[in-house]
């Protein structure tokens, strides 16, 4: 009875903490500007199915893709077992589903155990890849301190959780075989993997066994609940965010840049043209409408970005596929698209904490630009879209880079000198180089003279 | 044979005066108009259009920069100034179909202009040439100049990832009966030449290598006779790379249009 009460208290507190944390994350994402993303739901569902559920882009690198697939499926399916554990915990029952499911129960637990072993193997390989093989993609200046610990913690923790699950089954099997009351459920067959481990427990006396069985059960379930909260502070949040993020990912050609209707309005006015354009097509993706208050041009801080940019930041797995294909990063420049995403998330968390502690947001004198992302990083981008193309969770670091550039140029006019020269050529000569517009057609002279 | 053809480069203003409409507008772009190397590509493409008897026109001095470098550098005002003025000209001539040899112009006209009121069917010259080859209008002389040559194609970011055009340029090259060899990073994973996003117009940020050197090393690893490009900026960057590696005599950089024109 006491065990049940403790369990319910644990469950309720975790539920409460998780609720508050999820609400914080949603509010943080809402700090971003409005952007209506409602077009083409069928295409969006298809992407979610293929890219998130189907892990399509993960298989660009087949070996890692397959290994991750094991963890992914393992997690989704083993958690069915958590349902039984929670009901048992509340009701004080033991393996409640066993009599209901009969022989199928034995099959299910065997299947879960098979996946658990898979998860242990893959997590071990991932730890080796990270720490011993030191795969280049997983080491960078943005992956020190917390992000480094975070990655190793997750993998270690998953291994421990799976071990708890297996040894719990093993000790439980011995207790059942001894016919100990509460454990002697009829009709459960043998489990392959924990069956092997059972021999470890056979020499133990029944009281010690019960203590271990209870320990493993509690460790497993509290571990999962604790993990549920931990995840929300970690890159591991991708296990939830990957799905909505893929759904809301942009469907336009990657080369298209977000229009700024406020600018269109002003430019048309300047050129003495009527206000309306005669065919504005995709206003659905503009974060601001022409009559909204203009605010800032571009982005200086997270609240100037769209909510989708902010959702991107919470979805990043820190896998570095983007950075490993970034031409700037490959050639030793400071820019790393992964860092752009991590910086955006960290700034969002910082602002969120200010709000949480009752301070007014955005009054700390800091901003995403400069305090997190430097100009040198922004200026190194070739807008090549390599980062966007490879991201397995459909994130666009480029979109954030371009918005920050817009702020630099339009609000601060702080372009490098050679860009200013290019701008003035564009303005005066209608070309980025200093040629006279009247010479634009001279290339044809040679042809027309019959050479 | 090209000597015998009397090449025409009609402007929209001329066609308008004669009450005619072109099948397609050839958007030349700034590099195509002013850059000495890329002017050769403009001329090659114009010759192809002439030889095939395609009714085309250019804007001539009425054309302005699409605004791509300004927009990607963050100068939205300047971009829209140029874009809206171009759209006024294009809509004034009732233009419906545009072909261009520059992926940056292609991307901007196709993707950025509709939100500002410019709606056109826009083709990159690789797509245009591919269509002509498929329709049998381009028939290359058997065993042309490039038969059996090793050609490696460098994907332009603004054609490839930005617009998912990967196959058209390759199909055009295949028509040359050459040996097409792929670099390790190609198609979706193609490495940028280093010029996009306004980099063409500024010094690179501090690093340990230039992007074009990284790319040309990869291209040279395929032992090519020719590095084929489909973009004026890629052309400049890779040609510079080859100069840097002192390989100008062995390896040439050509645009698709030049290769086709030479084989026609
Ligand atoms: C829902 C259950 C999921 C679980 C339990 C899960 C688990 C994990 C774990 C443990 C890692 C760490 C690997 C490492 O550090 O080396 C990881 C990394 C990663 N996950 Fe997931 N994941 C899930 C869903 C997804 C989804 C839906 C996607 C997107 C399609 C995704 C994409 C990634 C990526 C890109 C990495 C980085 C791996 C790398 O190093 O290449 N995950 N995931
Ligand atoms: S778009 Fe910019 S950040 Fe992304 S890979 Fe290319 S250069 Fe790097
Ligand atoms: S942005 Fe995408 S590709 Fe880059 S580290 Fe994050 S999840 Fe990986």
| Domain of residue A309, CATH code | 1.10.1060
Distance from CA of A143 to the nearest CA of B (A): 19
The residue ranges of chain A whose pLDDT is under 70 are 276-294, 449-451
Residue A274, domain member (yes or no): no
List chain B residues with CB under 8 Å of A419.
73, 198, 201-202
For the stretch A285-332, pLDDT in tens is 444 444 444 578 999 999 999 999 999 999 999 999 999 999 999 999
Q: How far is B88 from chain A (nearest CA, A)?
A: 10
Chain-chain contact of B162 with A410 (C-beta, under 8 angstroms): no
- What's the confidence (pLDDT) of residue A284? 41
Burial class (CB in 10 A: 0-12, 13-18, 19+), B234: buried
Ligand 2 site residues, Cβ closer than 6 angstroms: A 326-328, 335, 337, 381-387, 397-398, 401
What pTM does this model have? Answer: 0.92
| CB contact B169 to A (< 8 Å) | no
What is the pLDDT at residue A66?
Answer: 92
Counting one residue from A and one from B, how many pairs have CB atoms under 8 Å apart?
A: 250
Query: Is A281 contained in some domain?
Result: no
Task: Report yes or no: B10 at the A interface, CB cutoff 8 Å.
Answer: no
Which ranges of A133-237 does DSSP label H, i.e. alpha helix?
A: 145-177, 192-201, 206-231
3-state secondary structure of A28: helix
Contact B59, B11 (CB under 8 A): yes
Q: Give the pLDDT band (50/70/90) at residue B53.
A: very high
Yes or no: say if A431 and A425 are a contact pair by the CB < 8 Å rule.
yes
| Residue-averaged pLDDT of chain A | 89
- pLDDT score for A140: 87
Domain contains A270: no
Q: Partners of B121 in the beta sheet?
A: B97
Asked if residue A50 and residue A183 are part of one domain, the reply reads yes
Q: Is A320 in the pocket of ligand 3 (CB under 6 A)?
A: yes
Q: Which among B71, B78, B205 is the nearest to A334, CB-wise? A: B205
Identify the pLDDT of residue B169.
96
pLDDT at B4: 57
> Looking at chain A, which residue has its C-alpha nearest residue B185?
A325
Number of domains composing chain A: 2
Q: Do A379 and B205 touch (CB under 8 A)?
A: yes
Q: A residues 222-251 near B, CB within 8 Å? A: none
Alpha-carbon distance of B102 to B107, in angstroms, equals: 9
Q: Where are the domains of chain B?
A: 12-129, 141-263
Q: How far is the CA of A384 from the centre of ligand 2 (A)?
A: 5
Coil, strand or helix at A128:
helix
Residue at A385 is within a domain: yes
pLDDT value of residue B24: 96
pLDDT reported for residue B241: 95
What fold does the segment set B12-129 form as a domain?
Rossmann fold (3.40.50)
pLDDT tens by residue, A186-209 = 778 888 888 888 888 888 888 999
Residue of A nearest to B200 (CA): A382
Whole-angstrom distance, CA of residue A102 vs CA of residue A122: 31
The reply to whether A451 falls in a domain is no
User: Is residue A311 in a domain?
Assistant: yes
Sequence length of chain B is 264
Q: Is the per-residue pLDDT at B52 higher than 50?
A: yes
Nearest CB to A253; choose among B71, B163, B197:
B163
Return the number of other C-beta atoms located less than 10 Å from residue B209's C-beta. 14
**Ligand 3 in reach of A52 Cβ (< 6 A):** no
Closest chain A residue to B8 measured between Cα atoms? A448
pLDDT at A282: 45
- A376·B205 Cβ contact <8 A: yes
B residues 184-203 closer than 8 Å to A (CB): 185, 188-189, 191-192, 194-203
A320 in the same domain as A173 = no
Closest in A280, A383, A409 to B117, CB measured:
A280
Two structure tokens written together for A341: 């995403």
- Residue after which a domain boundary falls, among A247, A274, A309: A247
Tell whether A192 and A305 lie within a shared domain: no
pLDDT class of B85 with cuts at 50, 70, 90: very high
Distance CA B14, CA B17 (A): 5
Give, using CA atoms, the residue closest to atom 8 of ligand 2.
A326
Higher pLDDT, B2 or A261: A261
A89 domain residue, yes or no: yes
In the stretch 246-275 of chain A, residues with CB closer than 8 A to chain B read: 252-257, 259-260, 263-264, 266-268, 270-271, 273
Neighbours of A303 (CB within 10 A): 20
Q: Which domain holds residue A407?
A: 294-434
Measure A314 CA to ligand 1 centroid, in angstroms: 13
The alpha carbon of residue B31 is apart from the nearest alpha carbon of chain A, in Å, by 9
Question: Is A242 in the same domain as A314?
Answer: no
Q: Does A394 sit in the ligand 3 pocket, CB within 6 Å?
A: no
Kindly calculate the radius of gyration of chain B based on its CA atoms and give it in whole angstroms: 18
Mean pLDDT throughout B216-221?
96
ipTM (interface pTM): 0.93
| Contact status, residue A410 vs residue A372, Cβ threshold 8 Å | no
Residues B96-121: tens digit of each pLDDT: 999 999 999 999 999 999 999 999 99
* Structural contact between residues A388 and A397, judged by C-beta atoms closer than 8 angstroms: yes
Residue nearest to atom 38 of ligand 1 (CA): A319
Assess contact for A224 and A161: CB atoms under 8 A: yes
d(CA B262, CA A189): 77
Ligand 1 centroid – CA A423 distance (Å): 43
Residue A70 lies in a domain: yes
Q: Which ligand minimizes its atom distance to the CA of A379?
A: 2
Q: Evaluate the CA torsion angle A310, A314, A318, A324 in order and state its sign.
A: negative
Q: Residue B10: left (phi > 0), alpha (psi -120 to 50), or beta? A: beta
**CB-CB contact of A245 with A395 (8 Å):** yes
Q: Do the two domains B12-129 and B141-263 of this chain adopt the same fold?
A: yes
Cβ-Cβ contacts under 8 Å, A438 against chain B? 61
Instruction: Report domain B141-263's class.
Output: alpha beta
């Amino acid at each position: 009875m006491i065990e049940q009460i403790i369990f319910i208290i644990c469950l309720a507190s975790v539920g409460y903490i998780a609720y508050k944390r999820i609400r914080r994350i949603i509010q943080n994402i809402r700090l971003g500007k409005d952007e209506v993303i409602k077009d083409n739901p069928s295409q969006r569902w298809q992407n979610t199915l293929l890219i998130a559920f189907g892990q399509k882009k993960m298989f660009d690198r087949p070996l890692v893709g397959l290994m991750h697939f094991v963890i992914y499926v393992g997690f989704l399916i083993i958690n069915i077992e958590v349902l039984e554990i929670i009901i048992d915990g509340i009701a004080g029952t033991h393996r409640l589903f066993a009599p209901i499911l009969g022989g199928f129960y034995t099959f299910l637990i065997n299947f879960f155990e098979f996946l658990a072993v898979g998860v242990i193997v893959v997590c071990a390989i991932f730890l080796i890849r990270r720490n011993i093989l030191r795969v280049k993609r997983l080491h960078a200046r943005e992956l020190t301190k917390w992000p480094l610990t975070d990655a190793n913690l997750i993998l270690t923790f998953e291994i421990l959780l799976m071990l708890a699950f297996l040894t719990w089954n093993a000790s439980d099997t011995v207790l059942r075989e001894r016919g100990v009351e509460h454990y002697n459920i009829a009709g459960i067959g043998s489990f392959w993997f924990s069956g092997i481990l059972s021999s470890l427990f056979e020499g133990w006396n029944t009281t010690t066994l019960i203590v271990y069985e209870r320990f493993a059960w509690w460790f497993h379930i509290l571990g999962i609940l604790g993990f549920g909260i931990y995840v929300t502070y970690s890159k591991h949040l991708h296990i939830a965010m990957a799905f909505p993020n893929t759904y809301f990912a942009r469907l336009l050609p990657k080369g298209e840049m977000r229009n700024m209707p406020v600018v269109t309005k002003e430019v048309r006015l300047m050129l003495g043209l009527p206000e309306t354009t005669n065919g504005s097509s995709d206003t659905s993706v503009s974060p601001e409408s022409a009559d909204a208050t203009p605010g800032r041009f571009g982005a200086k801080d997270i609240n100037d970005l769209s909510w989708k940019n902010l959702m991107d930041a919470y979805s990043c797995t820190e896998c570095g596929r983007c950075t490993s294909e970034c031409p700037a990063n490959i050639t030793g420049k400071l820019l790393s698209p992964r860092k752009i995403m991590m910086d955006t998330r960290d700034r969002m968390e910082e602002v969120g904490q200010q709000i949480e502690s009752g301070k007014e947001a955005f009054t700390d004198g800091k901003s995403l630009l400069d305090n997190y992302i430097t100009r040198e990083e922004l200026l190194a981008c070739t807008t090549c879209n390599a980062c966007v193309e490879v991201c397995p969770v459909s994130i666009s670091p480029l979109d954030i880079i371009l918005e920050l550039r817009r702020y630099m140029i339009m609000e601060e006019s702080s372009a490098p000198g050679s860009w200013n020269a290019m701008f003035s050529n564009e303005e005066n000569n209608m070309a980025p180089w200093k040629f006279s517009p009247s010479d634009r057609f001279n290339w044809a002279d040679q042809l027309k003279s019959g050479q | 044979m090209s000597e015998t053809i009397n090449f025409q480069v009609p402007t929209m203003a001329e066609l308008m005066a004669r009450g005619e409409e072109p099948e397609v507008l050839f958007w030349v772009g700034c590099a195509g108009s002013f850059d000495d190397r890329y002017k050769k590509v403009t001329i090659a493409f114009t010759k192809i259009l002439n030889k095939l008897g395609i009714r085309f026109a250019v804007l001539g001095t009425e054309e302005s920069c699409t605004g791509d470098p300004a927009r990607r550098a963050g100068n939205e005002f300047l971009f829209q100034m140029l874009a809206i003025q171009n759209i006024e000209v294009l809509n004034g001539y009732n233009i419906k179909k545009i072909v261009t040899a520059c992926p940056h112009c292609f991307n901007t006209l196709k993707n950025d202009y509709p939100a500002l009121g410019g709606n056109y069917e826009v083709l990159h010259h690789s797509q245009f040439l591919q269509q002509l080859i498929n329709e049998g209008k381009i028939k290359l002389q058997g065993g042309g100049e490039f038969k059996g040559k090793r050609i490696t194609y460098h994907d332009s970011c603004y054609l490839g990832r930005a617009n998912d055009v990967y196959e058209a340029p390759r199909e055009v090259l295949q028509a040359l009966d050459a040996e097409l060899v792929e670099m390790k990073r190609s198609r979706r994973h193609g490495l940028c030449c280093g010029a996009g996003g306004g980099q063409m117009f500024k010094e690179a940020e501090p690093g340990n290598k230039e992007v074009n050197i990284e790319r040309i090393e990869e291209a040279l690893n395929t032992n090519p006779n020719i590095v084929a490009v489909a973009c004026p900026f890629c052309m400049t960057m890779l040609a510079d790379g080859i100069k840097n590696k002192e390989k100008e005599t062995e390896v040439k950089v050509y645009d698709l249009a030049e290769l086709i024109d030479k084989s026609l």
